Amino acid sequence: SQQGEEDPQALSIQEGENATMNCSYKTSINNLQWYRQNSGRGLVHLILIRSNEREKHSGRLRVTLDTSKKSSSLLITASRAADTASYFCATARVSSNTGKLIFGQGTTLQVKP
Amino acid sequence: GAVVSQHPSRVICKSGTSVKIECRSLDFQATTMFWYRQFPKQSLMLMATSNEGSKATYEQGVEKDKFLINHASLTLSTLTVTSAHPEDSSFYICSAPGQGAPVGGYTFGSGTRLTVV
């Protein structure tokens, strides 16, 4: 399969709660990126974590990477209704020098006001 | 920041006709563009890699004669869906390594919703 796995597929929480999404991948990677997509729109880059990093923060976002388990998680703290969107992880493979990104299946997040 | 302008945002065409989708990098040069296809409530599937000055590289299972890609300049890549059929209806998105990529991630166009009737 071209894609990795993400879970959960859908997540519904109340405003103010934290949201955690997980991503697993299959091959060795150079980096892993998280993107956000509002319905019917393009993707917006959120954060990139390199293969030699274990944790990274950006505002209310926290990303972890475990290369031994080939998995990553995205935590959104103190969620807001505006965070409602689909979130995708994407990996750049070590074996590829083309810069191709392979996307996970995505998590649809709904934050209820 | 880096911006990729994609047009049109929506297009409806009749079966058998061709549709061209354009992606322009507005404030940077994109020697490479990636074209994705997305079905409703699904992830992005990479279709092809567009390279300025050379032929596009297609992913396995993608018909190169149906999805014509041209990277005419350092700022423009086009995807032409030829002899469109209803099963080609989908959301098509382009992306390019943005300035400072990979640290800055990739920049995506806003997507084109193609409906073939």
pLDDT tens-place values along chain B, 117 residues long:
788 999 999 999 999 999 999 999 998 888 899 999 999 888 999 999 998 888 999 999 999 999 999 998 999 999 999 999 999 999 999 999 866 555 658 899 999 999 999
Neighbours of B68 (CB within 10 A): 16
- A-chain residues near B49 (CB < 8 A): 98, 100
Using CB atoms, pick whichever of B4, B42, B49 lies closest to residue A100.
Answer: B49
Look at residue A103 and tell me whether its pLDDT is greater than 80: yes
Q: Assign A94 a pLDDT band (cuts: 50, 70, 90).
A: low
Q: What is the pLDDT of residue A35?
A: 94
Q: What is the pLDDT of residue B53?
A: 86
pLDDT digits (tens, 9 = 90+) for A54-85: 999 999 999 999 999 999 999 999 999 999 99
Mean pLDDT, residues A93-113: 83
- B-chain residues near A102 (CB < 8 A): 46
Half-sphere exposure of B96 (CA within 13 A, CB side): 31
Q: What is the pLDDT of residue B87?
A: 95
Q: What is the pLDDT of residue B98?
A: 67
Mean pLDDT, residues A39-45: 90
Look at residue A2 and tell me whether its pLDDT is greater than 50: no
Q: What is the pLDDT of residue B100?
A: 55
Size of interface A-B (CB pairs under 8 A): 70
Q: What is the pLDDT of residue B103?
A: 60
Scanning every residue of chain A, which has its alpha carbon at the shortest distance from the alpha carbon of B6? A42
Using CB atoms, pick whichever of B4, B32, B102 lies closest to residue A48.
Answer: B102
CB-CB under 8 Å, A31 with B102: yes
In one letter, which amino acid is B13? Answer: C
Scanning every residue of chain B, which has its alpha carbon at the shortest distance from the alpha carbon of A47? B105
Q: Assign A99 a pLDDT band (cuts: 50, 70, 90).
A: confident
Using CB atoms, pick whichever of B34, B43, B110 lies closest to residue A41.
Answer: B110
Scanning every residue of chain A, which has its alpha carbon at the shortest distance from the alpha carbon of B58? A100
Q: What is the pLDDT of residue A4?
A: 67
Q: Check whether the bond before B97 is cis (ω within 30° of 0).
A: no
Half-sphere exposure of A87 (CA within 13 A, CB side): 28
Q: What is the pLDDT of residue A108?
A: 95
Query: B93, B95, B99: which is closest to B113 by C-alpha?
Result: B93
Q: Assign A1 a pLDDT band (cuts: 50, 70, 90).
A: very low
Half-sphere exposure of A46 (CA within 13 A, CB side): 27
CB-CB under 8 Å, A100 with B111: no
- Tokens matching residue B18: 């061709």
Using CB atoms, pick whichever of A41, A44, A100 lies closest to residue B34.
Answer: A100
